[in-house]
A and B are shown apart, each in its own frame.
Chain A
């Protein structure tokens, strides 16, 4: 096996890591870099718990090879808050009780941020379809969808 050296940017910081060719970006984040916020719920792209943003695009880190991150920019849940200042979505998820066990929460937050970056005024249907790749087994989605809609409304008002 040939170990690959990868130079990338994670949450704005330059990062180098070594990985095996068959390792995924999720493996690299969790096992090489200790960034365990992204979770592995399925390993097949069906649950969205490992959602990260790669060069501005929402992806499942389990379906990206670690080597592919060379020269790219990766955003993870660990970079969502600005220091002690939570992203509005993070605060709304707490306010709306939009999490129960919380294991899907990082993926939902990253996916929802990606939505609001593109569409500041989504309909309920748009929110539900955008987030359809993020499975939540606890909440029935109701409070998650409300938290995202409410965040969008607040952020529009703040503009």
Chain B
């Protein structure tokens, strides 16, 4: 195994593209090192992207935020403007693992690990985040929900890596939230996760909404049926119950060591409703 730490995106792409064996990108390493140790992967090349300046930055762009692929969750939480604009995304990133993990883990790593239970992904999907990929054939953009194809599998091409993720500008009266269910209070992988982002008009009617669910299907779901239950309403009790029912209906989970099918289906609705309530409070400025 070789370890390389290039200082430009282009150099990283060259290394990845030229490797004939198995190559892995190292951002925070909180998934990769566990996989290395367990023997799950045995790469020939590891490319550490933390010395690439552009990947270490959070920058404001067109009123939104561009977040480098190597920015840790802790750094997100320390960015006041980002935390004010996208509290749901930041709280999701800050739910991953422990303080120690949050000092290292990245949202892009969370995305590229392609686990359906990744905490930050439903929040990014609800936020309509766009991802910038760089590869041997240049740059392209993808919606966050299009990165993972199946557990552990992404749509990235050979030699391609994610450089940054972009969170768009927030209209007034917008709010987002992410909630997850875990058996303990910390340190667990989500049994169910729910992200909601919504915008109200001046009368308090929901204009746009996005609802996403994690850990209830092979990949993170964007649940349009749930969002449609909110759009055009004041997000009252009836709309929230309808949203919850639609969220539960969208689930196709498995039974595993973390939860049962029936538990995940039921709790997905509960969390989607609670996340919508929290997003609503933020949009109204009452949170």
Contacts and interface: CB of A to CB of B under 8 A. Distances in A.
B161 interface: no
A73 interface: no
Contact of A2 (B2, B5, B34, B186): B2
Interface in B32-55: 33-34, 36-38, 46, 48, 50
A22 B36 contact: yes
Contact of B100 (A1, A48, A68): A48
B34 to A, nearest CB: 5
A1 B3 CA distance: 10
Contacts of A64: 29, 33, 104
B101 interface: yes
Interface residues of A, number: 33
Contacts of B187: 46, 132-133
A63 B30 contact: yes
A68 B48 contact: yes
A44 interface: yes
Interface in A102-124: 111, 114-115
B100 A44 contact: no
Nearest to A68: B48
B8 interface: no
B98 interface: yes
A21 B34 contact: no
Given A63-B29, A63-B33, A63-B34, A133 B186 contact: yes
A45 B101 contact: yes
Contacts, number: 90
A132 B37 contact: no
A114 B3 CA distance: 29
A57 B104 CA distance: 9
Contacts of B26: 65, 68
Interface in A4-28: 4, 21-22, 24
Given A21-B1, A45-B30, A63 B101 contact: yes
Q: Is the interface of A mostly helix, strand, loop or mixed?
A: mixed
Interface centre among B1, B33, B186 (most CB of A within 10 A): B33
B3 A67 contact: yes
B73 to A, nearest CB: 11
A133 B33 contact: no
B186 A132 contact: yes
15 contacts: A22-B1, A24-B33, A44-B38, A45-B97, A46-B187, A58-B103, A59-B100, A60-B104, A63-B29, A63-B101, A65-B29, A67-B3, A68-B26, A111-B99, A133-B99
Interface of A: 1-2, 4, 21-22, 24, 43-46, 48, 51, 54, 57-60, 62-65, 67-68, 70, 111, 114-115, 129-134
Interface of B: 1-3, 5, 26, 28-30, 33-34, 36-38, 46, 48, 50, 72, 74, 97-101, 103-104, 185-187
Q: Which 3 A-B pairs have the closest CB atoms?
A: A133-B98, A132-B186, A21-B3
